[in-house]
Chains A and B, each alone.
Chain A
Amino acid sequence: MNNKFDIKNNSDIAWCPGCGNFLIRKEIMSVLEELKLSPQELVLVSGIGQAAKMPQYVNSNFFNGLHGRGLPPATAIKAANPQLTVLAFGGDGDMYGEGGNHLLHTSRRNPDITLFVHDNMIYGLTKGQASPTTNFGFETPVQNFGVFERPLNPIALAISLEITFVARVFCGHPEQTQEIMKKAINHKGFALVDIFQPCVSFNKINTHKWFEENTYYLKEDYDPTDRDKAFKKAYETMPFPLGVIYKNDGRKTFEENLHIYQKNDTPLVKRSTNLSNIKNEINKKI
């Protein structure tokens, strides 16, 4: 691959051979190149997990933070410097488990960032415990009687939160995935792309083949701006619909709503402090 987002030692990647993450990486790099972004203006943000290692393997700025905590720094980075393109990556455990509360509230803020969740329905890095999206009945060394908690439906959740762009893809379909990734990044506002990703080491149920067999694409005439329809789609399983399931344009972003950007779009980080304003503030106390 001759892509400016590729890294030098790309043979050192710590994922398992055959892991869906390799596909996602290739796809996102293509998209970034196609979008003519520069590594400098791009920031990849993530938590911890196999998915969350993505930033390490893309030539760009990155903030690879704590497990579950990708969204708060991503939001802050975008707010402090809206000229950056900010993409967040995480696993299903990372973003829907440990970090669930940030997902709820990031949706309320609607920052102009894109979140990619590598949904392998398992905790990969910690070697195969159930994640919030693990299927009912799945046995693991911890869930040794099989998972009985209802799997989280991230699409329904996202729609209920009115996340302004909600899509699902399967990384085994590069063309379609790239198309949707592009749309998600171009979308103004918070976008969630739930990526079906096979974990070849710990998820022997939801395999490449399984995803292939249990997904289909939304038709051209599907209208993602219709929330009611979107909900219906969100609950479809076996096969699961792929594509942009819900979309809600026109809502202001977090950055746009911030007072400091109302009249002046210079990024906060490029402004300097105004000493006389500070003095005024102090002298109010006389």
Chain B
Amino acid sequence: MTEYNKAQQDIVDEFSVFEDWLDRYNYLIELGNDLPGIDPKYRSNEYLINGCQSKVWLHADLVDGRLIFNADSDAIIVKGIVALLVKLMNERTPSEILENELTFIDGIGLRQNLSPTRSNGLLAMVKKMRLYAMAYQAKENQNKES
């Protein structure tokens, strides 16, 4: 098991203690509250992923070959899920993100929240995170070549 997948398993394990849906949500709300909001300069239309029912903002930098994500949402439960995604993917190399599949969302029963019809911006955010990884990887490869 890759370290990445180990991290996913940890999240699933953490969640498994909650039998009740409302407890899981309470935990997500906590995570959401703990996630520092996005730097105000990124809380703008440029970084907005419009989900119709809730909004998500996302920005990523590459520092020393690792991605640093900065993300936020206007809905707190969505922000909790955002926090989980950031927790998993932050400070990873682009190839780690691209080579591993995202499984923990399924594992903690939140898959519906990533369905294309949910309009909460999460699915688009996950796609965007991978796009950032791809873009930075391409850039790195280019730099190596030149």
Instruction: State whether these chains interact.
Output: no
